[in-house]
Amino acid sequence: MSNYSKARADGSARVELHDKLSLTGAEVSINELPAGASVPFVHSHKENEEIYGIISGKGKAVIDGEEVSLSAGDWLRVSPAAKRQFFAAEDSGIGYICIQVKAGSLGSYTAGDAEVY
């Protein structure tokens, strides 16, 4: 059995990597909204926070009624209970990565979780 998984995004508007990579601690998706489009629903989560990395274009998120402008290079963390919806700008699409993890579950990270050989 291999100690790694590799997958390739196929260019779809939404690619979920959970099954493709056999993820056990996170959900990761790659998303593209064309200019003027939006995620067609408002949502929140019971346990999972989401981290959004904007990889191209621009748009906005509406989080608990507050508009947050987004553009390539921005990163955004949203707590589980926050109600959120994402929109591409009228003149630009937006591409983003969404990482979903259980809030409060990070015990250690980077050097604290590494073994150097």
pTM: predicted TM-score of the whole model, two decimal places: 0.89
Instruction: Report the alpha-carbon distance of residue 59 to residue 87 in Å, rounded.
Output: 5
What top-level class would CATH report for the domain 14-103? Answer: mainly beta
Instruction: Report the alpha-carbon distance of residue 108 to residue 101 in Å, rounded.
Output: 14
83 in helix, strand or coil?
coil
Instruction: Report the alpha-carbon distance of residue 44 to residue 2 in Å, rounded.
Output: 35
Each residue's pLDDT expressed in tens, for the chain with a length of 117 residues:
589 999 988 888 999 999 999 999 999 999 999 999 999 999 999 999 999 999 999 999 999 999 999 999 999 999 999 999 999 999 999 999 999 999 999 888 888 888 889
